[in-house]
Amino acid sequence: MLINELEGGVIQNVLPIGSGGDYLVRVSGEASFIPLEMSGLQVDATGSGSVSLLGAKTDQVLRNARVGFVSVTTFSHGPHAIVHSYLHFVRRGRRNIGRQKPKKKQRDGKKGGKK
């Protein structure tokens, strides 16, 4: 795990299943612990699967925390089958880096179709 090398993070605790992340990380210079969610795909030839998984894991970690780290590794990516890894710091708020849920369309209140 590169969290130590890239962010100065040290894993402090394993989180329980369903809590939104896999580990709690202490990052050098930060006052509080930050959740870390890790996931991976065996094969993602086009990159779309890992991008989709990154969005889903971002949503997952931000359900229970204001900020967090999300890591997605693809063990066979692209035509040359190279290993590809994403590590993102995500934040909830007005400028949400994670995906936002689409708003529901409002209906006009009329029942049935046009006559």
In a domain, 30, yes or no: yes
The whole-number average pLDDT for the span 96-103 is 40
More confident residue, 5 or 115: 5
In a domain, 48, yes or no: yes
Phi, psi of 59 (to 5 degrees): -60, -45
Phi, psi of 41 (to 5 degrees): -125, 140
Question: Residues, the chain, total?
Answer: 115
- Token duo for residue 42: 């065996």
* pLDDT tens-digit readout, 47-98: 888 889 999 999 999 999 999 999 988 888 777 788 877 778 888 874 444 4
Cα 26 to its chain centre, rounded Å, is: 18
Looking at the structure of the chain, the number of domains it has is 1
Instruction: Give the residue from 70, 69, 65, 56 showing the smallest Cα distance to 93.
Output: 65
Q: Which domain holds residue 71?
A: 3-91
